[in-house]
Structure 1
Amino acid sequence: MTSKTLRFGIWAAVHGARAALQDPDEPFDASWERNKHLVLEAEALGYDSTLIAQHTFNPHRPDFDQLDAWTAAAGLAALTTRIELIAAIKPQLFHPVILAKMALQIEAISRGRFALNLVNAWNKVEFEKTGLPFAEHDDRYAYGRDWISVVSRLLAGENLTHRSENFDLKECALFPRNSYRARPTLYVGGESAPARDLVADHGDVWFINGQPPADVAVLIADVRRRPRRGPPLRFGLSAFVIARETEAEANAVHEHLSALAAKDAAVRAVQRANSDAKVVMLQTLAKAPRVGSNGGTGAGLVGSYDQVAERIQAFHALGIELFMLQFQPFEAEMARFAREIFPRVRPGGAARDSVSQRA
């Protein structure tokens, strides 16, 4: 096993359930109150991080609620005490100076627990509805590379003059500067060749969509071969978890969720139509049926408690440091994972008492 600390995070329920929208055990709820409770519960149970995805409009149905990532991150920064808060950002939606200023403020509110997740936009509707240009895939990454180079230097306290095709900055310095560390952690998503180049040059942690260990090993090896300055790149993996006492029980739950997800076929079709076909994540998802988003059950964390623990350890040996997890129904399964899996993979890592247990 690697020497890197094994960490677990949760996807915030920013647009409701991750597997099926018509699950009676998890009615649709993307509200601030639900997400606040979810993240506070995760922190109390011993989870290390939460990822707050950014969407202006709900990607499943335009008339469904959608939590705002950055205002929610600021609120959670004031309410939490230990958990890392990772807010996703699509560069085309925010000027880098404004975004860096917001990030430094949330970093101050959280006392050094904030992080950014740079993602290349895939949902064309967010741009078409607002009249913003939606560039070609590789052009979006070129813009993102320029954008993150500006943001990272501003976050590090540089007095920046920068002129490029996209930006013209003159002696930009942001105050107050970060008093907790050099800058917030930069997570990068995406698996295309431009994404791999970008994370090797600018990222601290690469988020990989859920897929089998052999595929993950190939991705990690490829990025590790790329030129890089600074400390070694770290790796995270998205995964939807179904863990039970026996493999048969877990498979039965998987079948149940798959049947529920099938009811969302019309919604998923609209989502696919609104997506950029060049996005590698979508190509990965099309390889085989799976439950959950961002690879979902493709990582294979479906089985008995011991099987799930063994598979996590196998991924960790490949270099995965952070597992960003999804569950359904979220709150109950998140608690189950902490109770059953933490002790199996973390020395002395039993779940803590949850907020509801201590109330």
Structure 2
Amino acid sequence: MPVSQPRFGVWSNVYGAWGSHFHPDDPSDASWMRNLSLVQQAEALGFSSTLIAQHIMNPTGNERDQLETWTSAAAFAASTRMIEIIAAVKPYLFHPVVLAKMALQIEEISGGRAALNLVNAWYKPEFERAGIRFAHHDERYAYGREWITVVRRLFSGDRVTFRGRYFQVEDYILSPPSRFRSRPAIYLGGESEAARALAAEHADAFFINGQPLHDVREIIHDLARRPRLDAPLRFGLAGFVIARKTEAEAREALDYALSLAEKDAPGHKSVLDGADADAVMFKTFAKHANVVGTNGGTSAGLVGSYAQVADRISGFNDIGIELFMLQFQPFESEMRRFAEEIIPRVAHARSFS
């Protein structure tokens, strides 16, 4: 399918590390100052987006620090000039009118760079321990459909009256709407049929967890065939990158990362113990062994020589992936390596395709 030139983004380091919490050259650090530095470096290196995942407590260990998403998004907006700021949101944690106003304020602060990533939650403890009901999977999506319907209309400057099962909104309008475009962008991710249906109906772009190319192709084909009222759905892919001069060096680095992961076993157990048993993404992840990173991580296959990684990115771009949302470890040095070694190779390859 025709697709624009690839863009590259980075996951803000909200957990403290996207690989092991025990890497000697990448101390676990979810602090605001570390994340600000990381995002500013990413912008200077030419990355186009940052994704700020949302948790209230750190699922890899509740004693670990956890960066808060929406306050950080506002601060990133005031501290950067070009990078897109994609802030994740779980609808049960924010009323749609309140969140829409917050997002529009970040749109104003950033000069038109705010985006929302709708996620319907999987980590039960951060809800249940706060006394917030954690609904069944399909009910969460029904709730999310009403929620995003209200948010989209408010984003667009409409005067909204909405009467649904979950929300009753009467004659509500938010001002100012975006002064820079019709509304902020809406991303959505998920593995289930409910997620795909919601994305086809309401999202501008769909995030796919890191998976092999043939699996990603099937997901894109399924979503691209669904009817839409808006422009065609765009696609992003999560991936953890390990790139070196040679494939052998990359495989050695992967083996080292996997050896460190053994120390993270208690954190992995914490994630799985708190996960919704009906969350389809964990069933997808279970198909891929020896993975580094979250959201599919190295399952996307971005491990190899510089040429191999660039070629695989081009292959994903050919089937419809526009935005590559990337994780690294050690984050800053590997992010710079990617910017210097991979982005130019991809740009050169795409200029001749």
Range of TM-score over shorter length: over 0.9
The answer for the alignment partner of 1:245 in structure 2 is 245
The answer for the alignment partner of 1:275 in structure 2 is 275
The answer for the alignment partner of 1:304 in structure 2 is 305
The answer for the alignment partner of 1:107 in structure 2 is 107
The answer for the alignment partner of 1:339 in structure 2 is 340
- In 2, the alpha carbon distance for the partners of 1:333 and 1:112 equals 29
Taking a change above 3 Å as real, the CA distance of residues 274 and 3 of structure 1, as seen in their structure-2 partners, is: closer
The answer for the alignment partner of 1:265 in structure 2 is 265
- In 2, the alpha carbon distance for the partners of 1:18 and 1:320 equals 22
The answer for the alignment partner of 1:313 in structure 2 is 314
The answer for the alignment partner of 2:5 in structure 1 is 5
The answer for the alignment partner of 1:323 in structure 2 is 324
Contact 1:241 1:326 in 2 (8 A): yes
Contact 1:246 1:304 in 2 (8 A): yes
* Corresponding letter in the other structure for 1:344: R
Note if 1:176 corresponds to 2:179: no
- In 2, the alpha carbon distance for the partners of 1:21 and 1:283 equals 24
Q: How far does residue 191 in structure 1 lie from its aligned partner after superposition?
A: 1.5
Q: How far does residue 328 in structure 1 lie from its aligned partner after superposition?
A: 0.2
The answer for the alignment partner of 2:17 in structure 1 is 17
Contact 1:2 1:316 in 2 (8 A): no
* Corresponding letter in the other structure for 2:106: I
Q: How far does residue 5 in structure 1 lie from its aligned partner after superposition?
A: 2.5
Q: Secondary structure at the match of 1:341?
A: helix
- In 1, the alpha carbon distance for the partners of 2:174 and 2:185 equals 18
The answer for the alignment partner of 1:228 in structure 2 is 228
Larger CA deviation: 232-241 vs 258-267? 258-267
Q: How far does residue 347 in structure 1 lie from its aligned partner after superposition?
A: 4.2
The answer for the alignment partner of 1:71 in structure 2 is 71
Contact 2:177 2:183 in 1 (8 A): no
The answer for the alignment partner of 1:33 in structure 2 is 33
Q: Secondary structure at the match of 2:323?
A: strand
Any gaps of 5 or more consecutive residues in structure 2?
none
Q: Secondary structure at the match of 2:117?
A: strand
The answer for the alignment partner of 2:50 in structure 1 is 50
User: Normalising to structure 1: TM-score of the pair?
Assistant: 0.96
The answer for the alignment partner of 1:353 in structure 2 is none
Any gaps of 5 or more consecutive residues in structure 1?
350-359
Q: Secondary structure at the match of 1:346?
A: helix
User: Normalising to structure 2: TM-score of the pair?
Assistant: 0.97
* Corresponding letter in the other structure for 1:346: A
- In 2, the alpha carbon distance for the partners of 1:251 and 1:124 equals 35
- In 1, the alpha carbon distance for the partners of 2:165 and 2:248 equals 57
Contact 2:237 2:324 in 1 (8 A): yes
Contact 1:17 1:28 in 2 (8 A): yes
Q: How many residue pairs end up in the alignment?
A: 349
Contact 2:161 2:169 in 1 (8 A): yes
* Corresponding letter in the other structure for 2:206: W
- In 2, the alpha carbon distance for the partners of 1:32 and 1:189 equals 25
- In 2, the alpha carbon distance for the partners of 1:111 and 1:7 equals 20
* Corresponding letter in the other structure for 1:20: S
Q: Secondary structure at the match of 2:86?
A: strand
- In 1, the alpha carbon distance for the partners of 2:326 and 2:16 equals 15
Q: Secondary structure at the match of 1:162?
A: strand
- In 2, the alpha carbon distance for the partners of 1:267 and 1:58 equals 10
Note if 1:185 corresponds to 2:185: yes
Contact 2:155 2:183 in 1 (8 A): yes
Aligned pairs for 1:80-91 within 5 A:
80-91=80-91
* Corresponding letter in the other structure for 2:231: P
Contact 2:3 2:321 in 1 (8 A): no
What per-residue deviation string (whole Å, max 9, x for no partner) do you get for residues 157-208 of structure 1?
Answer: 0000001111111100001121111100000010100000000000000000
- In 2, the alpha carbon distance for the partners of 1:169 and 1:204 equals 24
4+ long deviations beyond 2 Å? none
- In 1, the alpha carbon distance for the partners of 2:234 and 2:292 equals 26
Q: Secondary structure at the match of 2:329?
A: coil
* Corresponding letter in the other structure for 1:128: E
- In 2, the alpha carbon distance for the partners of 1:237 and 1:203 equals 15
- In 2, the alpha carbon distance for the partners of 1:324 and 1:339 equals 17
Q: How far does residue 3 in structure 1 lie from its aligned partner after superposition?
A: 4.0
Contact 1:141 1:194 in 2 (8 A): yes
- In 2, the alpha carbon distance for the partners of 1:315 and 1:180 equals 31
- In 2, the alpha carbon distance for the partners of 1:100 and 1:117 equals 12
What per-residue deviation string (whole Å, max 9, x for no partner) do you get for residues 99-147 of structure 1?
Answer: 0000000000000000000001000011011100000001101100110
Contact 1:114 1:185 in 2 (8 A): yes
Identity of aligned residues (%): 58
- In 2, the alpha carbon distance for the partners of 1:61 and 1:205 equals 31
* Corresponding letter in the other structure for 2:295: N
- In 2, the alpha carbon distance for the partners of 1:276 and 1:138 equals 12
